[in-house]
Structure 1
Amino acid sequence: MKKNRLSLVFQLLLRNILKYLLQGLAVLAPIGITIWLVVSGFNFIDGILPNVIHSIFPDLIKENPDGSLKRIPGVGFIVVVIVVLLVGRISSSFIFSKIVEAFDTILEHTPGVKFIYSSVKDFFEAFSGNKKKFDKPVMVNVDANDVWRLGFITSKDASGFNLPDHIVVYVPHSYAISGITYIVPKERVRIVNNMNAAEAMKFIISGGITEHD
């Protein structure tokens, strides 16, 4: 009898330890991962400028005994952000747009490079710029009746596939950077008017955990 009581107490103790462990992870994991991603991103961007300068002018930036480059933390990050802001500001000017178009044409017609360049370019243009694609969330029916997936219209014209009455919808996966592209009839797509693109993407990535009115 005494052994059974000890066993129950031990099981209860283990259960509480597991519960508190999971609760602690639920609190600390998002904070820790967020801090790690921010710090890693900051260090990566902050190291771009010193690495570029060192590769072109090795004598301007010396190396530390451990092989890393000597730099003032934050300076490279600030410079890179300023350069990106300036490029964004002048990107609509006539002269700059022509220069970008020239580089774009060269890269688009360079064997081996054009696939990488066009893929990266299309990916970023899908989220920003004048050609932004992921700007309108929709519900698409591609499974059973009354079963809907949340995604984004990437093309309203699928006539290139001999499907003039169809549209192209991209459906991201939850907790992943992957997704599926569907070509579906227009009547199987419903526009989501009470949710913007950022809210929809957050809802999808979180697996529906994020609350939405």
Structure 2
Amino acid sequence: MKFQKVAKRLFHFFLQGVLVLAPISITIWMAFSVFNWIDGILPNLVHNLFPSLIGVDQYGTPKRIPGLGFIVFIAIALFVGYISPSFIVSRFMDFADKVLEKTPGIKLIYTTLKDFFEAFAGNKRKFDKAVLVSIDAPDIWRIGFITQEELHEFGLQEYVAVYVPQSYAFAGHLYFVKRDRVRIVTDISSADAMKFAISGGVAEVDEPEHEHATIAPERG
């Protein structure tokens, strides 16, 4: 009996450790993979353009510089973020955007990725209105995000589109729900709501300060 209690406590500690380490480990692994990939292609590119900058080993392969991928990635991200508001760059990006959106085959991939990233960041964020939505039963609620408040094109006058993320998965479901089954969450931020949903309710959020409000009915 004592052994079972000890084993149970050890298993509990193990699960707690996994919950703490998994997000950190996955994030570090993904970042390391990206930087390592850049480290792998940069030496050949730089050596072909500027042979004197990077030497070669005994097999004639350009030597890798650890950390170069990280530095280059950060530098490019900062540079693009700095120049993106300028008139010339914005016009060029608009032109490239139109070309990619009209290119057969590429259009589907590009527009899907573009809409996905804009949903999380930028001026066109879609996941900025957290809600509680009742789908399965009147007394069961899920955390979701309103992505469209008008669904006239689907012939639905009193419905809104709600995206419900899945826990511990980079996926979710889209539901068309009546407005009276949706409550806008006003006491926590959208980022905290997303974190709470994806973590399966493990992540902590700030103490609530306001009551939930039902989404306003559609007018005329």
Q: Alpha-carbon deviation of 1:86? A: 1.9
5 Å-filtered alignment, 1:16-35, equals: 16-27=6-17, 30-31=20-21, 34-35=24-25
Among 68, 89, 100, the alignment partner of 2:93 is 100
Q: Alpha-carbon deviation of 1:154? A: 0.8
5 Å-filtered alignment, 1:75-154, equals: 75-154=68-147
SS at match of 1:152: strand
* Greater alpha carbon shift after TM alignment, 165-174 vs 141-150: 141-150
| Residues 33/157 of structure 1: CA separation in 2 closer, same or farther (3 Å cut) | closer
Deviation per CA, 1:157-193, whole angstroms, max 9, x where unpaired? Answer: 1111111322111000111111110111222211101
**Amino acid in structure 2 at the alignment position of 1:51:** I
Deviation per CA, 1:85-111, whole angstroms, max 9, x where unpaired? Answer: 221222222211111111111111111
Give the equivalent residue in structure 1 for 2:44.
54
Q: Alpha-carbon deviation of 1:140? A: 1.2
Among 31, 48, 51, the alignment partner of 1:41 is 31
* Greater alpha carbon shift after TM alignment, 172-181 vs 182-191: 182-191
1:193 correspondence with 2:189: no
1:202 correspondence with 2:195: yes
Identity of aligned residues (%): 41
**Amino acid in structure 2 at the alignment position of 1:208:** G
Q: Alpha-carbon deviation of 1:12? A: 3.0
| Residues 23/124 of structure 1: CA separation in 2 closer, same or farther (3 Å cut) | same
- Between the two proteins, the alignment pairs up a number of residues equal to 203
Q: Normalising to structure 2: TM-score of the pair?
A: 0.79
Contact 1:127/1:133, CA 8 A, preserved across alignment: yes
* Greater alpha carbon shift after TM alignment, 92-101 vs 30-39: 30-39
Structure 2's unaligned 5+ residue stretches are 208-220
* Greater alpha carbon shift after TM alignment, 203-212 vs 128-137: 203-212
Q: Distance in 1 between matches of 2:62 and 2:163?
A: 42
Structure 1's unaligned 5+ residue stretches are 1-10
Q: Distance in 1 between matches of 2:105 and 2:47?
A: 29
Q: Alpha-carbon deviation of 1:208? A: 1.5
**Amino acid in structure 1 at the alignment position of 2:94:** E
Q: Distance in 1 between matches of 2:5 and 2:147?
A: 48
**Amino acid in structure 1 at the alignment position of 2:37:** G
Q: Alpha-carbon deviation of 1:58? A: 4.6
Q: Alpha-carbon deviation of 1:74? A: 1.9
* Greater alpha carbon shift after TM alignment, 16-25 vs 72-81: 16-25
Q: Normalising to structure 1: TM-score of the pair?
A: 0.81
* Greater alpha carbon shift after TM alignment, 147-156 vs 70-79: 70-79
